[in-house]
Amino acid sequence: MINTRAANRYAKAFLSITKSEDDLMIMFKDMSSVKKAFEQSQELKLFIDSKVIKDTDKLETLKKVFPDLSAFSTNLLDHITNSGRIDLFDDVAKCFVELYNEKMGNQNVILISASKLSHDILTEIKSKVKSLTSKTVYLTNKVDKNLIGGFILKVGDKQYDASFKQQLKNLEHEFFNISIQ
């Protein structure tokens, strides 16, 4: 996606201006809150992508939505607005968080299961992922009762689906292929 490449360039440039670990942490917190807000609000995403609303109005609104942004992040927002790319703000935040995690050796992992898993099982899974990735693992357990059983493990851009639901779909697919032949 072209926007992702442009957003990645902005995020890399934003990351490169850090002069200290404290600055980096402040920027990470800002971009994490922006990323989270856009993930939780489809309306915010539609607003920023609108071709009808002027960029200056978008900028004013975003500064009200994110009043606690640091001077670094506010300057970034001003810069991308002046460049006519304010629609990339959410993508820049996503890219920055990914670049930060890569730089710091962090790996976010999402484990989706049919029910809440015990602390011992989560610790074991976290340990296994850490040994495979050699990174600091941040594990989130989400519950999806539609899975019936089993789990889905998302590590970065990879997904391992060991849910009963997926296994049943695989069986159905195999039976369907056998019956056609």
For 149-160, write each residue's pLDDT tens digit.
888 999 877 888
Instruction: Of 1-15, 41-55, 81-95, give the lowest mean pLDDT range.
Output: 1-15
Which of 92-106, 112-126, 133-147, 161-175 is predicted least confidently?
A: 161-175
Fill in the amino acid letter for 41. Answer: S
Q: For residue 2, is pLDDT > 50?
A: no
Q: What would the pLDDT profile of 48-91 be if each residue is shown by its tens digit? A: 999 999 999 999 999 999 999 999 999 999 999 999 999 999 99
What pLDDT is stored for residue 180 in this prediction?
Answer: 62
Mean pLDDT of the residues in the chain: 89
pLDDT at residue number 8: 92
Domains and CATH numbers, the chain: 2-102 (1.10.520), 106-180 (3.40.30)
Tell which residue, 162, 128, 125, has the closest CA to residue 140.
Answer: 125
pLDDT at 67: 95
Q: Are 91 and 97 in contact (CB under 8 A)?
A: no
DSSP class per residue in the chain: -HHHHHHHHHHHHHHHT--SHHHHHHHHHHHHHHHHHHHH-HHHHHHHH-SSS-HHHHHHHHHHHSTT--HHHHHHHHHHHHTT-GGGHHHHHHHHHHHHHHHHTEEEEEEEESSPPPHHHHHHHHHHHHHHH-SEEEEEEEE-GGG-SSEEEEETTEEEE--HHHHHHHHHHHHHHHHH-
Asked whether residue 178 carries a pLDDT value surpassing 80, the answer given is: no
pLDDT of residue 19: 80
d(CA 175, CA 181): 10
Q: Hunting for tokens 């670094």 — which residue is that?
A: 72
Cβ proximity of 135 and 105 under 8 Å: yes
Q: Which of 173, 176, 117, 123 is nearest to 144 (CA)?
A: 117
Question: Do residues 18 and 100 touch, judged by C-beta distance below 8 A?
Answer: no
Q: What is the mean pLDDT of residues 7-35?
A: 91
pLDDT of residue 181: 56
Q: Rounded to whole angstroms, how far apart are CA atoms 66 and 33? A: 9
Q: Which of 107, 97, 104 is nearest to 27 (CA)?
A: 97
Q: For residue 172, what pLDDT band results from cuts at 50, 70 and 90?
A: confident
